Amino acid sequence: MNSKTSSKSAAKKKSGHEHGISSYYGEWVFGPDAQSQYLSEKAQAAIAKAASHGEAVSRDMAGEIAEGMKNWSLDLGATHYTHWFQPLRGTTAEKHDSFFEPSGVDQGVEEFSGKALVQQEPDASSFPNGGIRNTFEARGYTAWDPSSPAFVLLKGGTKTLCIPTIFVSYTGEALDYKAPLLKTLSFVRSAATDVCRYFDENVNDVSVSLGVEQEYFLVKEELYKLRPDLQLAGRTLVGHLAAKGQQLEDHYFGSIPEKVQAFMHDFEYRAHKLGIPLRTRHNEVAPAQFECAPQYEDLNLAVDHNALLMDVMESTAHKHGFRVLLHEKPYAGINGSGKHNNWSLITNTGVNLLSPGSSPSGNLQFLTFFINTIKAVHDHADLMRASIATAGNDHRLGANEAPPAIMSVFVGQALEEVLNDFESAKASKTGSVSGSIQVPSIPEILLDNTDRNRTSPFAFTGNKFEFRAVGSSDNCASPMVVLNTIVGNQLNQFKKRVDALISQGAAKEEAIKAILREDLISSRRILFGGNGYSQEWVEEAARRGLNNIRHSAEALAAYMHPSSVELFVENGIFSERELEARTEIRYETFNLRLQIEGRVLNELVQNFVIPSALEYQKQLADTVQTLLSIGQSKESLTTHIELVERLSTEIHAAYSLNNRMTEARAKWNKEEDAHKRALGYNSEVKPLFEELRTHCDNMEQLIPDDMWTLPKYRELINLD
């Protein structure tokens, strides 16, 4: 171990699991503690300024930081380093290089330069680019993000130094999730700080906080390997419901199965060493479904940590005989999985700008940020819907298990009353109240200003807004880029209008209230506190003029609406070319997902379902012939014959539909326009999936277990 290693780090390594999470938390992170042991104070300050104020790190200083980072990772056992980035394909990317440099025939040294830390040049030609790059144009750049600390990742028994980076093309356009996210963070922080200074001149910065609740399924690995649909599409394309699913609601918060808890403990241990502040774990509603959730973090770090967490979960699962299913709807008929994004704004003075306090009606600062956020979502509801639009999420939204595709905002009865009184300039008496839950020995509790509404896509939950509609497999940066941008834009517009009134002689407080009332009145229709699953809400939303965009193929068009283009381009988040490219990529991803599902479904029907049905049909037919040959009457064999006929009907229907589905895919694959192809796939190909599935599931019910070659739902969702 390097002589610079701190006593604190040494104590962590020595104590291992035995003295709590704090004894090993962050051991694999090049954070402030590690930096203090391997870097000068000047180098530490350079990283801090780059992270908090966006100040560039000089090349000379980068050399010292690289040397310290290398020595730290070597002490932990790393042999390679990589620029870790998040291309527009839903998974992270990395290209490993060794520290080793030969210095002779049989000699060498470990080296890592400042240049290698700050910038690298991975091949950009094979990553999604939406037409920005030609396939013969390979050059792209990754650039170090000092605001997200480097870490050492253990995988396959080896350790690699991972340096979080952005990824851009040779011509400078962003090709990843992180680069625009960092732009939006700077944008909304600046806008929020400017508005905060109406209330407190000591505020000179506002950070954005995020907590990501991650839902997922587990399946036994040996069964996973017998399901081509799970392996290649992430979800079951055929499969009849198990007799017992989630009807009894006995899985939710139930006792965690022993093998599952061992898996959880293992991946949490690795996550904690990587500085991911996981705190909560529990059974979710559906059988074999679970959830984990961290403490709140700076938004950029939270997004990185969630992407890293998914990787850690999947790699850890193998050791325990499981596979992690992150698809939004791996099983039909039971709840799917989401990724709730809990978003808030915190001043450098420690004030949560979305905390109502004991008297929200008297907290004008709270109302300012509260109403501005509501107004932003109202004005850009279709863009919010587009931000969570994926082929997988289409199966989940509005399916009585997730928020509907109608964008609405839930604030709770108490705060609705506050808003009503504020709009009419009445004094509100609503605030936090004490109440008893009427159970002996349980003390009086402080009730929140809001209940929770699980049917709302965007709900206020006490001191934050929870974007509940995000899909479980998605990168959180996508919806957060939109949310940060629309809120930052709204705050800027709000400030201009308030300043205009002040310049005309209005008192500051009265000017703020006047603009807030205007915005509240104009956005009130998006507030909804009822049951988002109900048909009544669908009808009511239509009367209010709120869009119900059920399909991603339609929703994604919002990115290129003139108002969206103006929003992103005018605020410097995307160029129009970047926005076009990203929209193209999202359409292509949607199309490719459905294309893969269609191909896999074709394989399942041709190679698994129909052969099993034909084999059983032949067995039945042979039985009928045998019984007839020994004198049984045809009338006594009615059931046998009926089974043969039912199988014939199902086989014919499945075969015909499979051909139709294949022809429909071929037709739309010829369409060059990705948007039109997505609409075609959605309207003509995707409906055939469910129709075809119905006949396959009917055959599954008829065919004996020993002749049905695919693991059934009752096996897949049972982890005991």
Q: Does pLDDT of 712 surpass 70?
A: yes
Which pair of structure tokens corresponds to residue 336?
A: 């799917």
Note whether 304 and 192 are same-domain residues.
yes
Note whether 170 and 192 are same-domain residues.
no
Note whether 485 and 622 are same-domain residues.
no
| pLDDT given at position 361 | 60
Question: Residue 292: which of 310, 316, 273, 311 has the closest Cα?
Answer: 310
Note whether 209 and 350 are same-domain residues.
yes
Domain presence at residue 409: yes
| pLDDT given at position 288 | 95
Percent of the chain with pLDDT over 70: 91
| pLDDT given at position 72 | 98
Distance between CA atoms of residues 203 and 196, nearest Å: 7
Q: Give the 3-state secondary structure of residue 101.
A: strand
Note whether 285 and 392 are same-domain residues.
yes
Cβ atoms of 47 and 61 closer than 8 Å: no
Domain end residue (candidates: 176, 202, 225) = 176
Which residues, at least 6 apart from 692, have a Cβ–Cβ distance to it below 8 Å?
A: 601, 605, 654, 657, 658, 661
Which pair of structure tokens corresponds to residue 485?
A: 């941008």
Note whether 163 and 224 are same-domain residues.
no
| pLDDT given at position 3 | 43
Q: Does pLDDT of 633 surpass 80?
A: yes
Mean pLDDT within 528-541:
90
Note whether 300 and 418 are same-domain residues.
yes
Question: Residue 658: which of 686, 689, 624 has the closest Cα?
Answer: 689
Identify the weakest region by mean pLDDT among 28-37, 166-175, 255-264.
166-175
Which pair of structure tokens corresponds to residue 424?
A: 């009419």
Distance between CA atoms of residues 308 and 28, nearest Å: 13
Identify the weakest region by mean pLDDT among 280-294, 393-407, 542-556, 614-628.
393-407
Note whether 164 and 194 are same-domain residues.
no
| pLDDT given at position 134 | 58
Mean pLDDT within 425-442:
48
Side-chain half-sphere exposure of 356, counting CA atoms within 13 A: 24
Distance between CA atoms of residues 663 and 42, nearest Å: 65
The one-character DSSP state at 85 is B
Domain presence at residue 438: yes
Q: What is the pLDDT of residues 325-344, one digit of tens each?
A: 999 999 999 999 999 999 99
Q: How far is CA 106 from CA 102, 103, 372, 640, in A?
A: 8, 8, 66, 78
Work out whether the CA dihedral 505, 506, 511, 515 comes out positive or negative.
negative
Identify the CATH number of the domain in which residue 429 sits: 3.30.590.10
Cβ atoms of 413 and 463 closer than 8 Å: no
Distance between CA atoms of residues 372 and 367, nearest Å: 8
Q: Does pLDDT of 450 surpass 60?
A: no
Domain presence at residue 1: no
Averaged pLDDT of the chain: 90
Q: Which residue has the higher pLDDT, 289 or 252?
A: 289
Q: Where does the pLDDT of residue 613 fall: very low under 50, low under 70, confident under 90, or very high at 90 and above?
A: very high
Q: Where does the pLDDT of residue 169 fall: very low under 50, low under 70, confident under 90, or very high at 90 and above?
A: confident
Q: Where does the pLDDT of residue 69 fall: very low under 50, low under 70, confident under 90, or very high at 90 and above?
A: very high
Q: Into how many domains does the chain fold?
A: 3
Identify the weakest region by mean pLDDT among 67-81, 432-446, 470-484.
432-446
| pLDDT given at position 426 | 62
| pLDDT given at position 106 | 79
* Domain span holding position 277: 185-574
Cβ atoms of 226 and 684 closer than 8 Å: no
Q: What is the pLDDT of residues 230-278, one digit of tens each?
A: 999 999 999 999 988 888 888 888 899 999 999 999 999 999 999 999 9
Domain end residue (candidates: 524, 551, 574) = 574
Q: What is the pLDDT of residues 353-400, one digit of tens each?
A: 999 876 676 689 999 999 999 999 999 999 999 999 999 999 988 766
Q: Does pLDDT of 447 surpass 70?
A: no
Work out whether the CA dihedral 487, 492, 498, 500 comes out positive or negative.
negative
Mean pLDDT within 398-421:
85
Q: Where are the beta strands (DSSP E) in 595-656?
A: none
Domain presence at residue 583: no
Q: Give the 3-state secondary structure of residue 139.
A: strand
Percent of the chain with pLDDT over 90: 75
Note whether 154 and 77 are same-domain residues.
yes
Domain presence at residue 580: no
Domain end residue (candidates: 176, 200, 233) = 176
| pLDDT given at position 56 | 84
The pTM is what?
0.93
Note whether 139 and 156 are same-domain residues.
yes
Domain presence at residue 582: no
Which residues, at least 6 apart from 402, have a Cβ–Cβ distance to it below 8 Å?
A: 335, 336, 338, 396, 468, 469
Question: Residue 408: which of 522, 556, 523 has the closest Cα?
Answer: 523
| pLDDT given at position 108 | 74
Note whether 629 and 540 are same-domain residues.
no
Domain presence at residue 581: no
Domain presence at residue 569: yes
Identify the CATH number of the domain in which residue 61 sits: 3.10.20.70
Note whether 557 and 455 are same-domain residues.
yes
Mean pLDDT within 103-114:
83
Which pair of structure tokens corresponds to residue 42?
A: 């000047």
- Stated as kind and residue range, the H or E segment containing 213 is strand 206-220
Distance between CA atoms of residues 359 and 640, nearest Å: 74
Identify the CATH number of the domain in which residue 678 sits: 1.20.120.1560
Phi, psi (degrees; rounded to nearest 5) at 661? -65, -40
Q: What is the pLDDT of residues 120-156, one digit of tens each?
A: 887 666 776 766 765 556 678 899 999 999 999 999 8
| pLDDT given at position 4 | 47
